[in-house]
A = this chain, B = another copy of it.
Amino acid sequence: MKVSVGISSRHLHVTKQHLEYLFGEGYKLEIDRPINQIGQFASKSFVTLKTENGLIEHVRILGPVRPYTQIEISKTDAYKLKINPPVRMSGDIKGSEPITLIGPKGTLNLNEGCIIADRHIHMLPKQAIMYGFTNDEEVMVKVPGEKACIMDCVKIRVADNSYFEMHIDNDDANANLIKNGDLLDIIKKK
């Protein structure tokens, strides 16, 4: 079976408290455009990422606010920032890489929160049942073309309000010449 690809550029999710610290009291995220995951959106707000030895400007906040602040970058970004974030699923930030966020009204030194997002496939509970997948199951995904490969250890994420889509970062997309909306084959393991 096939899944369409959504390429995630570097971005972050923030708590309400951190958003106000960075942008000022009462600040609210505005929708620039909706993303495919239901209820989520690319906001009009950006921050700068800072580490001891690097800086990346103009990194977009995705909304709405979340119960945790999480910064998702690629390995290429990590080399630029000279840090070594772990590969993690969204929400699993305990002990992840420290990073500093700079907003127009405040600078926030986080002890953890920066990750490289693991490749994953979102689906609804009813789709998981219909297609025979379980939450956290690892599958393989076949990429055709001149730089063909089979990605292994791709996680299935089953949740309400999901849109059936595979998420990869820019490194995965560029290495394997994948474009937004490409349809790739999911392969069940054993």
Contact = CB atoms under 8 A, between A and B. Distances in A.
Interface of A: 74-76, 79, 87, 118-119, 146-153, 169-172, 174-177
Contact of A87 (B118, B146, B151, B172): B146
Closest 3 CB pairs of A and B: A175-B175, A148-B152, A75-B174
Consensus secondary structure, chain A interface: mixed
A75 B74 CA distance: 15
A146 to B, nearest CB: 4
A86 to B, nearest CB: 8
A75 B149 contact: no
Nearest to A146: B87
Nearest to A172: B175
B76 A170 contact: yes
B87 A147 contact: yes
Nearest to A142: B152
Contact of A175 (B150, B152, B171): B171
Contacts of A74: 174
B177 A87 contact: yes
A171 B18 CA distance: 33
Contacts of A79: 174
25 contacts: A75-B175, A75-B177, A76-B76, A76-B170, A76-B171, A76-B174, A79-B174, A87-B146, A87-B147, A147-B151, A147-B153, A147-B172, A148-B151, A148-B152, A148-B153, A149-B149, A149-B150, A149-B152, A150-B150, A150-B152, A169-B175, A171-B174, A171-B175, A174-B175, A175-B175
Contacts of A169: 175
A178 B169 CA distance: 16
